[in-house]
Chains A and B, each alone.
Chain A
């Protein structure tokens, strides 16, 4: 754990205290099922959180579009709230929110900065997330959800086709 670069890397196999404490055998299917039921039945209204994250997303997206400097920082600011929607939506009954936010997250991570076209793509995501929230659409939306997700994929693909030379 020194800052100086050694001639050769040192390898250490630390004692596995965790394994020593827990033993063997895993956990039963019954416990896995019970714990999944705990996730499925969690009582939390995620929508107020989602609304706040969406407002933050919207504000930062506009700021990023207007930014003439610190564009990387602006992009990171958008990633935060989108990542929160993606990470938590599916944990709290709103898988479709996660799926839509996931596409937005991939898109933001893949682009250099926010130009007018990128902003339009982000607004399409924002409007879709807003509609899911307004209509309190839980679950993944089945085939109708697939159609929404595919449409957003297409919008992102069109953007990348347009800017592939850059």
Chain B
């Protein structure tokens, strides 16, 4: 038995087209075939209203409507077909404050860029297997934020922690040495 993603509708939103293409290609390999894309939150919201997706994957920093505002619209706008739809936010931000900020806007899960395929799959599987209950406090409506967030927090020391992702790219020692020397020179005055 394996997941059957062919009937799942998904909307992916990112203002960088190559990133959209890349995520779409990875999701297609997973087996998704109803993938709708948009390049900003405003168009993304239209796509969500039109396609009533089972999952939304969105970037954070976009204009004119960013990922946080989009999440708020999905959760609160009467036009939205499903205010409970899971929203996976993919972003370069990784600080705890930013993660909490995203949670406060109704984001379901958080994925730090750059990510590998396993990272993306883990988040999707988390959404499928461990859905959050929703809470309405009047001021906040969205996934219950009380679940421990440690599992989701990538932290700022990705380089040190993710040795498994390290590449064995050839290194030009001479070039690096030049850059390092210049950097040390720059840094001396700090």
Contact = CB atoms under 8 A, between A and B. Distances in A.
Contacts of B186: 120, 123-124, 127, 155
Given A27-B121, A38-B25, A124-B186, A99 B159 contact: yes
Contacts of A159: 190
B136 to A, nearest CB: 5
Interface string B65-97: 000000000011000000110100001111101
Could you say which interface size class chain A belongs to?
A: 35 or more
Contacts of B180: 144, 147-148, 151
A138 interface: yes
Contacts of B167: 95, 139-140
B176 A32 contact: no
Given A26-B2, A139-B167, A154 B187 contact: yes
Given A1-B75, A86-B92, A131-B182, A27 B2 contact: yes
Q: Most A CB atoms within 10 A — which of B7, B177, B179?
A: B179
Interface in A18-33: 18-19, 21-28, 31-32
Could you say which interface size class chain B belongs to?
A: 35 or more
Interface string A142-159: 111111110110110011
A84 interface: yes
Consensus secondary structure, chain A interface: helix
Contacts of A18: 8, 54-55, 86, 127-128, 131
Q: Most B CB atoms within 10 A — which of A24, A90, A146?
A: A90
A145 B114 contact: no
19 contacts: A6-B137, A16-B131, A18-B54, A18-B128, A19-B128, A23-B4, A24-B3, A26-B3, A35-B25, A49-B16, A87-B113, A88-B18, A88-B19, A88-B92, A109-B98, A127-B182, A127-B186, A140-B166, A155-B187
Given A87-B114, A88-B18, 18 more contacts: A3-B139, A11-B134, A18-B54, A25-B2, A26-B2, A39-B22, A80-B61, A86-B92, A91-B115, A95-B114, A102-B92, A132-B179, A139-B170, A143-B171, A144-B171, A144-B180, A147-B176, A151-B184
Interface of A: 1-6, 9-14, 16-19, 21-28, 31-32, 34-36, 38-39, 42, 44, 46, 49, 80, 83-84, 86-92, 95, 98-99, 101-102, 105-106, 109, 117, 120-121, 123-124, 127-128, 131-132, 135, 137-149, 151-152, 154-155, 158-159
